[in-house]
A = this chain, B = another copy of it.
Amino acid sequence: MSLIVQKYGGTSVGSVERIEAVADKIEQMYKDGHQLIVVVSAMSGETNRLIGLANDIDTMANPREMDVLLSTGEQVTIALLCIALHKRGIGAKSYTGSQIKILTDNSHGKARIREIDDFRVKEDLTSGHVVVVAGFQGADETGNITTLGRGGSDTTAVALAAALKADECQIYTDVDGVYTTDPRMVSEARRLNKITFEEMLEMASQGSKILQIRSVEFAGKYSVPLRVLSSFEEGPGTLIAIEEGNQMEKPLVSGIAFNKDEAKLTIRGIPDQPGVAYKVLGAISAANIEIDVIVQNVAKDNSATITFTVHKSSLPQAEALLNEIASDLGALEVDADNRIAKVSIVGVGMRSHAGVAATMFEALSTEGINIQLITTSEIKITVVIDERYLELAVRALHSAFELDKPDLNDH
Chain A residues with CB under 8 Å of chain B are 16, 19-20, 50, 53-54, 56-58, 61-62, 64-66, 68-69, 71-72, 75-76, 78-80, 82-84, 86-87, 93-94, 96, 98-99, 120, 142-145
Considering the complex, give the chain B residue whose CB is closest to the CB of A52. Answer: B16
Number of copies: 2
Which of B53, B68, B78 is within 8 Å of A94, CB to CB?
Answer: B68
Q: Are B80 and A69 in contact (CB under 8 A)?
A: yes
What residue of chain B has the Cβ atom nearest to residue A142's Cβ? B120
Give A84 Cβ to nearest chain B Cβ, in Å: 5
Whole-angstrom distance from the CB of A174 to the nearest CB of chain B? 22
Q: What residues of B have a CB within 8 angstroms of the CB of A142 in the complex?
A: 120
Inter-subunit contact B83/A72 (CB<8 Å): no
User: Smallest distance from the beta carbon of A292 to chain B beta carbons, Å?
Assistant: 35
Q: Is B58 a contact of A83 with CB atoms below 8 Å?
A: yes
Residue among A57, A78, A82, A98 having the largest count of chain B Cβ atoms under 10 Å: A57
CB pair B16–A57 under 8 Å, yes or no, is yes
Distance to closest chain B CB from A120 (angstroms) = 8
Beyond contacts A65-B79, A99-B143: 13 other A-B pairs, Cβ-Cβ < 8 A, are A20-B57, A53-B76, A53-B80, A54-B79, A57-B80, A57-B87, A61-B83, A62-B82, A68-B75, A68-B79, A69-B75, A72-B75, A99-B144
Given the interface pairs A65-B86, A68-B94, the reply to whether A16 lies near B80 with Cβ below 8 Å is no
What residues of chain B lie closer than 8 Å to A144, measured between beta carbons? 99
Q: Known A16-B53, A19-B57; judge A83-B65 contact (CB<8 A).
A: yes
- CA gap between A98 and B120 in the complex, in Å: 17
- Across-interface contacts of A61 in B (CB, < 8 A): 83, 86
Q: Enumerate chain B residues within 8 angstroms of A83, measured Cβ to Cβ.
A: 54, 57-58, 61-62, 65-66, 69
